[in-house]
Structure 1
Amino acid sequence: MEEEAVDFQVEEEADPRRVMEDLMSQSFASHDGPLWRARLVRGAAGEDCPLEEVRASFPHTSHLILGNHHGIADGTSNVRTYNLLLKILNDVIAGRPIDDQEQLGEFVSGEEFRAMVSARLIELEEDPENLQRLVKEHKTVMASVPLLLQCYPSLEGTEMKTEVLFEELDEDTTRRFFQRCKKEGVSVGSAFTALINGATIDLAKKAGRTDDTFTLNESHALDLRRLLSGDASKHLGSHITILHHAVEAPAAWRESFWDYTRTLHRSLHSKLSEDGILRDKCIKEVSVCTNNVGKATPTFPPPFEDSVCSNMRNLDAICPDVAGEHVQATRILRGASLYTAHFSHTFRRRFLYSFCYSAHFIPRDTAKALTRAIFDNLRSLV
């Protein structure tokens, strides 16, 4: 930008969730910038601070809503940036000098990963018959209609707007959930995905579906930094890919939940290898190239996934400076503008969750019922 522009506003007596929804429904001036914006929502003393030991020493609560174009940052970049912001705020308040020349991160393009994908594609092209089979399977998935949309069709004329719901577990329930997952030999991410699928199946059954089994299409957001050479911990930018996954689930999933979750866990984690990630990306690229890409439309394509999941696990690992002496972060929630997306992570010993959905596709009552079912089932299982 030739001239720096800052889109920052302070709002009094606003609902932070509504402010977040408003930011997710606004476009960015892609050519002119800025590609980020921020809103500070002032809160009352002690309001919405879940940690009693923090609330006693830090009685004033505010909410900072940070929004950016996904093309310039992913979840890891955003959380790392937030940690750096808190560190700087504490240093400024404490009167410590700030070195404006210090580089706190490095903006890195995705060239290395693209080279890895190109190399893997060359290998796949050595067996064109198998590659075409994989592409055909991918196109079949892309033509799928999500189960919830089959049962609860979108209403014409409904605003295309992202809405969000929040849930969180207290420390004790978080600990018991994690311990139970470990005991059953599955990851927390696999168990939570199984809970999302189970709640979706229950809503379908409530709408009258009588299938014995359901195959739900999942898309999982993955951090690519683990595949890059050298130390990629300071890499800023958008370094994610989306991995597709599906496994058959029984209609009576609750009676065999942990068996079903182990099946899902083994299937998903077998695809999480470097080769699985690269192959999935190659198939998507070839599928796009063989489609009629010249037929651009002014609207988004209809969704095919039953869920998009972004599990960043423990944010404390990349947020070491949130418990400062003057400013502390007690909760971090994430979101994005998508048809339906589930964001989860732990922060300060609590499991936090955001459900973002398009009001055009999912009525708010249905979204609330889905979220309530996920957490009711979780608590009953641990």
Structure 2
Amino acid sequence: MERKEKWLWKTTSVEQSFNTYNVSYQLTFATREPLLHDHLRRALAHLSRKVPLLRMCYAQRNGEWWLKEMCQEIIDFEMIPDVTIDEAHQKCLTFRYDIETGPLWCAKLKTNSLSLEGVSDRSMADFPHLNTLFLGIYHGITDGYSNMKICGFLIQLLEDVISGKPINDEEQLCECVAGEKTQRMVDERFAAIKANCEYKEKMVEEYQASQSKCLLASLIPEGAGEKDPKTRLLTRTLDVDTSAIFFKRCREEGVTVNSAFTALCSVAMVDFLVEGGIHRETYSISSNHVVNARRYWEGDTSEYLGCHALPTNPVVVETPRNVGAKFWDYAREVHREFLKTLDSGKALHVEAMKQIMRSESPDCGALSEQSQFDFCMTNMGDVTPLVTEGGDHVQVIHVLRCTAIHPVPNFWGNYLHSFRGRFINVLAYSTENINDQVAEKYCGKIFKHFHEAINIKK
């Protein structure tokens, strides 16, 4: 299917910041009848035609990178029956997209999926046929919210294809937009900083100070791991009952799940540092949180897809060596600090400072060769309404997500969300600095504190 050339927009600074790596989504679903590969291929073709984001590619225009619509429809679909779950994610996370031709996404199907950790033995009498689809997407065109919506669109279209319902490809399922609103807010902060020399000097000093290495870097030297690094994953899916206890306890203690889990990661990090020989009364634990920029837009943004994540929202909290039974007091402190960054638009300020540093010198403001954060966090809350549970022919069982860590200077990142009442955590780590044993040890400490926290009485 040939299309006329259609230019979309010049890439924004946020899109450019995500242009170095991929994302991988794992969508496990069950069907009433054996899944016909033709059904999935047709659903993927409809998905491409009805979601503008999936028709994007890049092109040079007057010496600048622009996004444009692909000239030809290409559906990159592959059957991967004989690979492991980890190998499937590796295929997506390391996939080399032809950014000037497209597509900037791919789909890989693994049939007869194995049982999933934390997913109860629900009755499969009506939906006995399990399949897992891996969606790989180039991060420069998309974000977590968009990806979860795309998963939901695909399930909806697969349901329609199997049922024989007519599908109108001219009716678009969403609107794909540039981050102009975000860029405008960043530009306003940029101008305000540049207009006051004394203020700019102060902001530059603060920004440079924030680029110092995290405590963890002193224990894990750069390049200590594999010379050809990759991103590996540790996943934890809690059962519905344990998840409900955790959610309820967070509400009772007046904190969000995001803040509680950040606190758990911080406390586990202190354990890690103490065992590494760093002995202090308190530790400045630094976490970086990816923020959905739509929160700063006006009006209903639910139909706007694209790359609208702000990559850097730093939170630094003094963490005592022994939190113990005062965990929830500490979690509330983390929550207060995190809310301060959200309310002040800290992530917008950091983006403006990156532009300030680049305007001073092309080499300034670039990413450090080592992480400035002890860990990174991205939380999407309950994604069930976005992905949907399915319909009469297809039921979604599980979904998880991850981003390639190895192309950027991060040791590891936690990807949080819940689906159908289950709390899901993926710890993605770069094997350049972190080996499997270190990752298992850290993840084990997080969930040790998790189980202690939900059993602590006031």
Cross-structure match for 1:121 = 190
Q: Is the aligned partner of 1:330 residue 2:390?
A: no
Deviation of 1:27 after TM superposition, in Å, equals: 2.8
Question: Residue 95 of structure 1: which of 155, 158, 164 is its match?
Answer: 164
Identity %: 31
Question: Residue 270 of structure 1: which of 328, 332, 340 is its match?
Answer: 340
User: How well do the aligned residues superpose, as a CA RMSD in angstroms?
Assistant: 2.2
AA in 2 matched with 1:264: V
Deviation of 1:17 after TM superposition, in Å, equals: 2.4
Closer/same/farther in 2, CA of residues 19 and 107 from structure 1, 3 Å limit: same
Q: Is the 1:165–1:356 Cα contact (8 Å) retained in structure 2?
A: yes
Q: Is the 1:21–1:164 Cα contact (8 Å) retained in structure 2?
A: no
Closer/same/farther in 2, CA of residues 147 and 58 from structure 1, 3 Å limit: farther
Deviations 1:273-323 (A, max 9, x none): 154443333223223333442899xx983222111110001102323x333
1:297-336 paired onto structure 2 within 5 Å: 301-319=369-387, 321-336=388-403
Q: Is the 2:286–2:315 Cα contact (8 Å) retained in structure 1?
A: yes
Closer/same/farther in 2, CA of residues 261 and 274 from structure 1, 3 Å limit: same
Closer/same/farther in 2, CA of residues 313 and 324 from structure 1, 3 Å limit: same
Cross-structure match for 2:415 = 343
Point out where structure 1 has 5 or more consecutive residues left out of the alignment.
none
Q: Is the aligned partner of 1:281 residue 2:351?
A: yes
Cross-structure match for 1:252 = 322
Q: After alignment, is 113-122 or 78-87 more displaced?
A: 113-122
SS at match of 1:61: strand
SS at match of 2:396: coil
Deviations 1:52-77 (A, max 9, x none): 33533211211111111111110000
Deviations 1:174-227 (A, max 9, x none): 111111111211111001001111111111111222122111221111111122
AA in 1 matched with 2:395: Q
Deviations 1:239-288 (A, max 9, x none): 01021121111111334311211111111101101544433332232233
1:76-225 paired onto structure 2 within 5 Å: 76-144=145-213, 146-153=214-221, 154-155=223-224, 157-225=226-294
SS at match of 1:249: strand
Question: Residue 81 of structure 2: which of 4, 9, 12 is its match?
Answer: 12
Number of aligned residue pairs: 377
Closer/same/farther in 2, CA of residues 169 and 291 from structure 1, 3 Å limit: farther
Cα distance in 2 between the residues matched to 1:21 and 1:13: 14
TM-score, normalised to structure 1, is 0.92
SS at match of 2:398: coil
Closer/same/farther in 2, CA of residues 302 and 166 from structure 1, 3 Å limit: same
Cα distance in 2 between the residues matched to 1:300 and 1:102: 44
Q: Is the 1:218–1:307 Cα contact (8 Å) retained in structure 2?
A: yes
Cα distance in 1 between the residues matched to 2:320 and 2:90: 35
Cα distance in 2 between the residues matched to 1:156 and 1:231: 45
Cross-structure match for 1:362 = 434
AA in 1 matched with 2:426: S
Cα distance in 2 between the residues matched to 1:228 and 1:295: 26
Cross-structure match for 2:53 = none
Q: Is the 1:13–1:42 Cα contact (8 Å) retained in structure 2?
A: no
Q: Is the 2:226–2:433 Cα contact (8 Å) retained in structure 1?
A: no
Closer/same/farther in 2, CA of residues 264 and 291 from structure 1, 3 Å limit: farther
SS at match of 1:149: helix
Closer/same/farther in 2, CA of residues 295 and 151 from structure 1, 3 Å limit: closer
Q: Is the 2:231–2:431 Cα contact (8 Å) retained in structure 1?
A: yes
Q: After alignment, is 250-259 or 69-78 more displaced?
A: 250-259
AA in 2 matched with 1:318: L
Cα distance in 2 between the residues matched to 1:68 and 1:266: 34
Point out where structure 2 has 5 or more consecutive residues left out of the alignment.
1-69
Cross-structure match for 2:11 = none
Cα distance in 1 between the residues matched to 2:372 and 2:348: 21
Q: Is the 2:355–2:365 Cα contact (8 Å) retained in structure 1?
A: no
Q: Is the 2:108–2:135 Cα contact (8 Å) retained in structure 1?
A: yes
Q: Is the 2:288–2:373 Cα contact (8 Å) retained in structure 1?
A: yes
Cα distance in 1 between the residues matched to 2:281 and 2:329: 16
Cα distance in 1 between the residues matched to 2:365 and 2:249: 49
TM-score, normalised to structure 2, is 0.78
Closer/same/farther in 2, CA of residues 215 and 236 from structure 1, 3 Å limit: same
Q: After alignment, is 269-278 or 238-247 more displaced?
A: 269-278
AA in 2 matched with 1:115: R
